[in-house]
Chains A and B, each alone.
Chain A
Amino acid sequence: MSEPAMSEANVITARGVTKRFGGLVALDGVDLDVPRGIVQAIIGPNGSGKTTLLNALSGAAPADLGSIRIEGQEIVRLKPHRIARLGLARTFQTIRLFGDLSVLENVMVAAACNKPSSLFGIIAARPSQQHSETEIEQRAREALEITGLAARAEHRATQLPYAQQRLLEIARALASKPKVLLLDEPAAGMNMTESMTLLATIAKLKTLGITILLVEHNVRLVMGISDRIAVLDFGRKIAEGAPAEVQRNPLVIEAYLGRRHRHA
């Protein structure tokens, strides 16, 4: 059943991802292929399993069954930090910044992702340690530059206004140099102007060649920016395709608007 040629083209290959919470089947055998370099959206009504899928992919709440591969490597049994080091970064629906660290340091935490340091090196302030520290800082500053937060580097993370805290989450995820970036409702709580800035940032990330998996409740926001859209409803994938296709799909309309169309 394996398709080596396919999995090369896909950054994420998920098969039969299933997650139960007691009697509730939150995800019911979801398959998902995310080709390299695209913006893939996952939409669906409230409680359809979007965030559960994202948590399964990132290892925050591992899947009960199924297989998830990042560039061919199975990650279902791995701890979240191992998955992060393999190139999957994410943001959170409810902001989770490191409140006691500066904006720059928040990003530096993730920039150190694949840069091991030894305790001895740190204590002795060895040149190799200082070199790697400079690299980490540089990488973090680049991520802040991309998200437009460079001027805020020395602020405390929690001093930023809400919309910038969301951008900081993206900067932090970006700094680990991910192959795929998972954004969990990045526009939640943003006004129109802020959402526009966000969309511009996502477009910029795409030009940098980063694959993006976007979970969004706001369908309108997703339509313009996404190359492909997968639709979840009650833990199942009910549709997938280009935005225009998905928009016309009767199953999708039914999931969002109810069964009015049945009567017609």
Chain B
Amino acid sequence: MNTRIALTLVVLLVLAIPLLTQDGYFLQLFNIAILNAIVVLGLNFSTGWTGQINFGQAAFYGLGAYTTAIALKAGLPFIATPPLAAIIVIAASLALGVPTLRLRTYYLAMTTIGFGEIIRLVIVHWEPVTGGTSGLRAIPGISLFGFALEGQVQHFYLLAAGLGVAVLVAARIRQSSLGRAMIATRNSEIAAEQSGVDTVRTKLAAFMIGAVYAGLAGCLYASSIRFISPDSFSGTQAILLMTMLIIGGMGSIPGCLIGAVALTLLPEALRFLGQWYLVLYGLGVIAVIIGAPGGLASLAQLRFRQVSRR
């Protein structure tokens, strides 16, 4: 019951953001935070729940974004781009996952780092199509059923709705036998297998679902921000996404949201610190890892439990 009230409050608070600020810069920042949250929720399937270290999430994000941008520029209607982006990332995730997820330990980490670099190199060097390092500009915007979205506020609500669906799907998967199989696979691969869980298939499903999250977020990124460049999907971004997951709380849906929002907004909020920001950032990450190994979400839960016990 308490969680339901908390959930309602959070949803209302999020929906009220455009009422509190009309500043285009802030709204754009929130929009990017929402997109990052979707990507981190996707990363949570493979890394948070299934325990497979995945550095390919930024590349899937980029793959979805570039697929969409190129398709829109070629004149395809917006409605066609989410399925297109999804198909492309599903194909890529299967090509990566099928050979590597049979092997245990860190093969996926290495493969996905390599994959990320390949995607980046292709984007940078295939200039006629991808625009190279300067990226793609003036991407046609989102238009649904003859209604074209305008302004940051409308985009904010569309992206918030997208995040809502992403959270709902993640929560349903967590409460299903697939979600339990993912966590079982992370906790003990042998015990999961002997309980009838096909761990290879489970790891592949988690990796693929996570890639679809990133691909669809990329699709929304390209069509709502309307400018993309390779920097947004680099290896640095992959590490940032992983940091969001760790800081927010591995395996926790609220944790993914907290981590993504915090690490998207903080750099801007602390911009006045100049170069000292990185020092503070590093210290902050270390403090969270030492003080709350379960991430910021675990802190919130602890507080919540103490309150409800009284």
Q: Enumerate chain A interface residues (CB-CB to B < 8 A).
A: 58-60, 79-81, 83-85, 89-90, 92, 96-101, 105-106, 108-110, 112-115, 117, 119, 122-123, 125, 129, 133, 136, 172-173, 176
* Contact in complex: A172, B195 (CB < 8 Å): yes
Total A-B pairs, Cβ < 8 A? 100
Q: For the complex, is B176 an interface residue (Cβ under 8 Å from A)?
A: yes
A-B contacts, 12 listed (Cβ < 8 Å)? A81-B195, A81-B199, A96-B188, A97-B191, A98-B188, A99-B187, A108-B177, A112-B180, A112-B181, A112-B196, A113-B196, A117-B178
Cβ-neighbour of B195 out of A119, A123, A176 (below 8 A): A176
SS of B interface (majority)? helix
Complex Cα distance A97/B209, Å? 26
Per a CB cutoff under 8 Å, which of B173, B176, B180, B205 touches A101? B180
Cβ of B169 within 8 Å of any chain A Cβ, yes or no, is yes
Residues of B within 8 A of A97 (CB): 187-188, 191
- 5 extra A-B contacts, CB within 8 A, seeds A81-B198, A83-B194, A85-B196: A79-B198, A98-B183, A112-B181, A113-B195, A119-B209
Known A-B contacts A96-B190, A98-B183, A100-B187; the reply to A122 vs B251 at CB < 8 A is no
Cα–Cα, bound, A185→B206 (Å): 34
CA distance A96 to B197 in the complex (A): 14
Determine if B169 and A84 form an interchain contact, defined as CB atoms under 8 angstroms apart.
no
Considering residues B169, B172, B177, which has the most beta carbons from chain A within 10 angstroms of its beta carbon?
B177
- Closest chain B residue to A100 by CB distance? B183
Q: Which of A58, A109, A123, A129 contacts B180 (CB 8 A)?
A: A109
Given the complex, which residues of B lie within 8 Å of A113, measured CB to CB?
195-196
Closest to A105 in B: B180
Q: How far apart are the CA atoms of A81 and B205 in the complex, in Å?
A: 16
Range of interface residues on chain B?
Answer: 20 to 34
Closest 4 CB pairs of A and B: A113-B196, A112-B177, A110-B195, A80-B193
Q: From A83, A98, A114, A125, give the contact of B184 (CB < 8 A).
A: A98
Say whether A123 contacts B172, CB under 8 Å: yes
Name the one of B177, B188, B194, B251 contacting A84, with C-beta atoms under 8 angstroms: B194
A12 to chain B, nearest CB (A): 15
- Which residue of B177, B178, B194 contacts A90 across the interface (Cβ within 8 Å)? B194
Q: Is the CB–CB distance between A100 and B186 below 8 Å?
A: yes
Within 8 A of A (CB), among B111-125: none
Q: A254 CA to B251 CA in the complex, in Å? A: 53
A123–B187 CB distance below 8 A? no
B192 contacts the other chain (Cβ, under 8 Å)? yes
What is the CA–CA distance of A125 and B171 in the complex, to the nearest angstrom?
A: 11
Question: By CB atoms of chain A within 10 A, which of B176, B195, B198 has the most?
Answer: B195
Chain A nearest CB from B102 CB (Å) reads 11
How far apart are B45's CB and chain A's nearest CB, in angstroms? 11
Q: Which residues of chain B come closer than 8 Å to A117, judged between CB atoms? A: 176-178
Considering the chains assembled together, what is the distance between the CA atoms of A106 and B187 in angstroms?
11
Closest Cβ of chain B to A46, distance in Å, is: 22
Given the interface contacts A112-B196, A136-B177, does A98 sit within 8 Å of B172 by beta carbon?
no
CA distance A92 to B191 in the complex (A): 8
Asked whether A81 and B176 contact (CB < 8 A) given A98-B184, A98-B187, A109-B184, the answer is no
Task: Decide if A79 touches B251 in the complex (CB within 8 Å).
Answer: no
Find out whether the CB atom of B176 lies under 8 angstroms from the CB atom of A122. yes
Residue pair A101, B191 in contact (C-beta under 8 Å): no
A110 contacts across to B, CB distance below 8 A: 195-196
Tell me which of B172, B173, B183, B191 has the highest count of chain A C-beta atoms within 10 A of its own C-beta. Answer: B191
